[in-house]
Amino acid sequence: MDISKKVNIEIQRFKDEYHFTERELPESIELSKYIDHTLLKPEATPMMVKQLCEEAVQHSFYSVCVNSAFLPLANEILQNTDVKKA
């Protein structure tokens, strides 16, 4: 049996056997606690990092991820908050 026939058989098997399961999230879940707000552009400016950090605090994001050169700035802005730095 050639490879394309095997692939087509597996595709058909998947179509026949796969059943989508719809899942609902509880309304009380706080998705923001799972978000890492990230700015790794090489052209990022201190002002952009400041805005990123302020948005993270405003929306209760889990963390910010910035270039290590901006960690001192992020630490300063995010002190006394629950937002983590990476």
Q: Phi/psi class of residue 33: alpha, beta or left (left: φ > 0; alpha: ψ in -120 to 50)? A: alpha
**Is 33 inside any structural domain?**
yes
* pTM summary value: 0.69
pLDDT in tens, 38-80: 999 999 999 999 999 999 999 999 999 999 999 999 999 999 9
Q: Residue 79's domain spans which residues?
A: 26-85
Does residue 13 sit in helix, strand or coil? helix
Q: Which residues contact 35 (CB under 8 A, 6 or more apart)?
A: 59, 61, 62
What percent of the chain has a predicted confidence (pLDDT) above 70? 100
**Is 36 inside any structural domain?**
yes
Query: Are 84 and 63 within 8 A, CB to CB?
Result: yes
In whole angstroms, give the CA distance from residue 59 to residue 32. 7
Q: How many domains does the chain have?
A: 1
**Is 12 inside any structural domain?**
no
**Is 9 inside any structural domain?**
no
**Is 51 inside any structural domain?**
yes
**Is 11 inside any structural domain?**
no
**Is 15 inside any structural domain?**
no
**Is 14 inside any structural domain?**
no
